[in-house]
Chain A
Amino acid sequence: MKKPVALVVDDESNILRFVRANLRASGFEVASATTGTEALAKFESEEPNIIILDIMLPELDGFSVCRRIRQVSDVPIIMITAKGDMQDAVEGLNAGADDYVTKPFAVEELLARVNAVLRRSQHDFCQPSSDQIKLGNLYIDMAQRRVYINGEAVHLTPTEFKLLIYLANQADKVVPHDEILEAIWGSEYRECTHYLRVSIGRLRQKIEVDPGNPEYIVTCSGVGYMIRNLNVS
């Protein structure tokens, strides 16, 4: 079996060195880059299965790199944030990252997150009750893994797709935050509501007519989210 490829991007050679060594030891083929532009080039040439991306990069910062990759790919991305405040983490998730670690981070933690992200992107965890779901103008084709709004295809990342299906399978029912987090991200993420908030925000951007005034995905303040079946109403 071919080894999975990980792309590690950091301008600090020493960080690069130990991360690379540890990933290799965990069975990854590792490519590395030290600048934003180099990272994009390596992404094209190496076709990595996962990217570990620092934010503070020369030439093109981590957020921009992440956004550019997201335009063409759903490859799992873990951001390394140095500034250590929530702002960076949220911006990273907004840019399309799947997860993040904060400097200084434990190797174990990084590896655990890498595995969690890969697990999420690889196997479909929730088997749909049917092959297709239709909620008003929203049409989800499970087999094709496609989502259509008013007949127009919408591109969703794997996390977003899973989130949508998870909610759609329980349409018109309020699903609590921790339940969604556990189901989509894993039990270790039960408390990380900001992941959910960011992902819901991105999902709304893609499927709602007016994301500021959502019709499908309704926030139930302090409890969770609910997807409304607009067929009924």
Chain B
Amino acid sequence: MIVIILGVYLAVNLYEKKQDIETTYNQIFTSKAEEVKDYMRRTFIALQYLDEQISTIICANKDVDVDKKIEAKVNDLIQYMFYYHDDFEEIFVKCKHANFCYREKNLVQLTTEEEIAWEQFLWNNVDYQTFVNSTTPTVSSITTGLEGKKAIFITKPLRTEDGQYCGYILSVINMKKIEEILNKTSKDFPGYFALLDHKKRVIYFPQPVSASTLSESLVPLFKETERVTEGTFKYYSSIYKREQILNFKTLEDLDWIIWSAAPYFIVYLSFYRNLILSVFMLLIAIITILWTKRILLKRMVQPLKELNNVSKELATGRFSYRLEMANNDIPQEIKELGNRFKDMALDLKQAYLLLKRQGGVLEKQAQEYSQELLMKNKEMVALYAVASSVSNKNTLFDILNQVFKIIMKVLEIDLVTIYIPQRGEVGKESIYTVWHGNYLQKEKTCFTECAGDFAKIAVKEKKMIMIDDLQKKNDEQIPFALKWSNFKTLVSMPIYYKNMVLGALTLISSNSRHFGEKDLAILQTICTQLGVIISNFHLINIINEKHQTLMATINSMCEGLVFLDRKGKIIYANPLFFKMFYLNNIDQQKELYIDNLLKEINPEIDLVLPYKEMKKHFIKKQPFHSGQISLTYQERTRYFLIQGFPVHTNKSFLGYGYIIHDITREKEVDNLKSSLLSTVSHELRSPLTTIYGSAESLLRKDVVWSREEEIEFMEAIVEESKRLRDLIDNIMDMSKIEAGVFKLDRHAVDITKLIERVVKRHRFMYPENEFVVDILGNIPFVFIDERRIEQVLNNLLENAIKYSPMDKTIKIKVEYLKEENVLKVGVIDHGIGIACQDQAAIFGRFYRVENAKTARVKGSGVGLSIAKGIIKNHGGEIWVESELGHGSKFYFTLPINNVEGEIK
């Protein structure tokens, strides 16, 4: 510790010394730099003064050309100047007409050559243009003067009153003065000073070396000065051949660099001296400490070892061991320690003897304590059993079974019965027993019942029942079966949960033992736990039931339902949802996001859904009232209405649900309706247009129609009126059929005659068609509305004619089917035929097959619908057998038995 403090102290001391040296060195340098600066400032002031004075003189006498007065005045001034100020070696004044040159106080008369030399000297060193415009003195760089000496001069332009350039003052600085300042070093300072001008030319350097050698050795300095204006660094001087410490500073205004350099070692000599001294002192301190330690060890370790041995002996119970302190070198403190140790050993011995006597009592207490621990342990085991069974069993009875087994083991019980009355539902109680040992089934039933009865009483009275001796014959409470069994004790304890009795537990043991307070405490604990479990199971059952009902409802819905969580993950989707999008094969156990699900949809399915809208409402957590989805797969388009709704609990947003309703049927009906409307409207408007247009044309007064034209118009009116009438008739018929008020005027009719009549008329109307009538065998009379059947035949024949543009042969076939007792009539053509998918629909209202071939044919599409209504009303059937491009065969049947029945 002392060594460290000493070390730190010495280090701080050394550091301070170093700082001290550097500060001193810096101070010397700074003061020298100031001195140079002062000197230069002084020369500046002197020049400024000269300038002002000479300018005043010249300006005051501007009228005079060359005047002795000026000369005298200037002369006086300069003399005065030199008298007080010896920093200038020479002063040269050039103004308008006169030049003055002073060398060390004396006015020198210059020859013309000398004057020219002065001029040249100035312009060699100073740029004329800059100089003429300058207002401050200009300092030249070091140069060679007129007399071959080194020189620096300060110069300033002279100006007239109105600022015109009219000459200059040029003063050569006394170099000796500068050298004097720099050469003068204090005794403390082991180095030298040097000075460079703004062009880095040497003004002063103590050693006479060549400029190139010097600038080579000063490269580090130049580098530094480019970076900073002042600083200190260490470098190797090639001139002095030594490590030097160098301080430098760039003088403001002048841009000169002053630097000092001193041998590094000498500067820091006193520092090194201190360093060596400190290290030496530190060494001495360390040696002293080590020596003292060694002596102490020698004198103290031995007795301490002895003490250690004794204590070991004591620990093993041997109190006879004595400590011998023979060595006289041992210090007094150690000796005292030894004596105290001896006393302690004696005390210990006495205490040990005392303890031995008390031992018996202690042992008894320890046994009691361990007994208690055992009980606690049992409790713990039972509780653990309860807890662990809950975690890995599924049904309540699985858990009870597990728990009871442990209870039986822990409390030495033969039978455990639990009774749980079903709350609110009479008779739906449950009794459950777990056995230890083998019993007959009969016995089991009997004992379970007995145990259950006790439990019921415990539940009813809300208190525990305990019977210590089941064989006590005179106790009426004990059932007969138990009295004669080998069971000895019984306890029945109610199970509470939140002050409510959920059931009771009955324990029966064949050991004649008393259920002690501790056993009951364990039992109490178990019952409390069971209470929690039973109540939880009740709750789970209720929840499960509700959940199942809900799921069954959702799964049976006729709408697709999907529910997403906040991130768009599908939490639940009903089977119909998957079916709607043909996603039956998807793994529904997998984590599914709605976005990903859409990608899973069969690429052949053309799905259009309002995805943007859905997304927008989902993000905003707003209900999405109606969007339409269309899904085209295998040429069948289905339409769905999708509605979205956010799902909230009281507090938070759970997710978003969508209900998808299949509206394909509605859509189809809607389309049918609108096409129906447009067809009817077209069918009605077309004839009306002709009637209206033709009639109006006839009424035109501005046109004179020819007779033929008039007839044409009138014919058109008649024709279209008929068409309109037929159409209206048809619509009326159809409405009657649909409303079920279609009346038949039935008579016994020979259908062959009817057919021949109809065909005859068609032969006349359509001479280009060939009609073949084929009557097979004897055809009985049939009880029909002749006019209506004729209408059917007309319709079928007209269709056959209309849709047979090429082969115009039409066959009418009649036969009697004995087995079914019906007449079968067929109208067979070789026309364009009807495609499979249209065959069922043609009997519907206003249905017309739309293709290029049918487009030329006019029709309202009600004919077959009416035909079907008529035949159905007769109790027959109508159908078509056809193939596209291969003609159609229309058949209808008419039952015969009606005829006979009616005739009789």
A interface vs B, CB < 8 Å?
11-12, 14-15, 17-19, 21-22, 25-26, 35, 56, 58-59, 82-84, 103-108
**Measured between C-beta atoms, what is the minimum distance from A148 to chain B in Å?**
37
B interface vs A, CB < 8 Å?
678, 681-682, 685-694, 696-697, 700, 702-703, 705, 709, 712-713, 716, 719-720, 852, 855-856, 858
B682 touching A82, Cβ below 8 Å: yes
B681 touching A84, Cβ below 8 Å: yes
- B702 partner residues in chain A, CB cutoff 8 A: 25
A17 touching B712, Cβ below 8 Å: yes
B703 touching A25, Cβ below 8 Å: yes
A104 touching B688, Cβ below 8 Å: yes
- A22 partner residues in chain B, CB cutoff 8 A: 693, 697, 700, 703
With beta carbons under 8 angstroms apart, the residue of B681, B686, B693 that contacts A18 is B693
B716 touching A14, Cβ below 8 Å: yes
A59 touching B697, Cβ below 8 Å: no
- A35 partner residues in chain B, CB cutoff 8 A: 856
- A26 partner residues in chain B, CB cutoff 8 A: 703
Cα–Cα, bound, A59→B692 (Å): 27
Cα–Cα, bound, A19→B692 (Å): 11
A18 touching B697, Cβ below 8 Å: yes
Total CB contacts across the A-B interface at under 8 A: 79
- Most central of B685, B703, B709, B856 by chain A CB within 10 Å: B685
A59 touching B855, Cβ below 8 Å: yes
- B691 partner residues in chain A, CB cutoff 8 A: 104
With beta carbons under 8 angstroms apart, the residue of A11, A25, A56, A83 that contacts B700 is A25
**Measured between C-beta atoms, what is the minimum distance from A34 to chain B in Å?**
9
A12 touching B700, Cβ below 8 Å: no
B716 touching A17, Cβ below 8 Å: yes
Q: Which secondary structure dominates chain B's binding surface?
A: helix
**Measured between C-beta atoms, what is the minimum distance from A144 to chain B in Å?**
40
Cα–Cα, bound, A107→B689 (Å): 10
13 contacts across the A-B interface (CB closer than 8 A): A11-B858, A12-B686, A14-B690, A14-B719, A15-B690, A17-B716, A18-B693, A21-B697, A21-B713, A83-B678, A103-B688, A105-B689, A107-B693
A59 touching B703, Cβ below 8 Å: no
- A103 partner residues in chain B, CB cutoff 8 A: 685-686, 688-689
- Most central of B685, B691, B693 by chain A CB within 10 Å: B693
Q: Closest chain B residue to A81 by CB distance?
A: B685
Q: Closest chain A residue to B691 by CB distance?
A: A104
Contact of A104 with B682 at beta-carbon distance under 8 Å, contacts A14-B720, A25-B700, A59-B852 already known: no
B681 touching A108, Cβ below 8 Å: no
- A14 partner residues in chain B, CB cutoff 8 A: 687, 690, 694, 716, 719-720
Cα–Cα, bound, A35→B690 (Å): 18
- A59 partner residues in chain B, CB cutoff 8 A: 852, 855
- A58 partner residues in chain B, CB cutoff 8 A: 852, 855-856
A18 touching B690, Cβ below 8 Å: yes
B852 touching A18, Cβ below 8 Å: no
**Measured between C-beta atoms, what is the minimum distance from B689 to chain A in Å?**
4
Cα–Cα, bound, A15→B688 (Å): 10
B855 touching A105, Cβ below 8 Å: no
A108 touching B696, Cβ below 8 Å: yes
B712 touching A104, Cβ below 8 Å: no
B696 touching A107, Cβ below 8 Å: yes
With beta carbons under 8 angstroms apart, the residue of A12, A21, A82 that contacts B705 is A21
- B682 partner residues in chain A, CB cutoff 8 A: 56, 82-83
Closest 3 CB pairs of A and B: A58-B855, A14-B690, A104-B689
B692 touching A106, Cβ below 8 Å: yes
Knowing that A14-B720, A21-B705, A107-B696 are A-B contacts, what are 7 other residue pairs whose CB atoms are under 8 Å apart, sorted by A's residue number?
A17-B694, A17-B713, A22-B693, A58-B852, A59-B855, A82-B685, A108-B696
- B703 partner residues in chain A, CB cutoff 8 A: 22, 25-26
**Measured between C-beta atoms, what is the minimum distance from B861 to chain A in Å?**
14
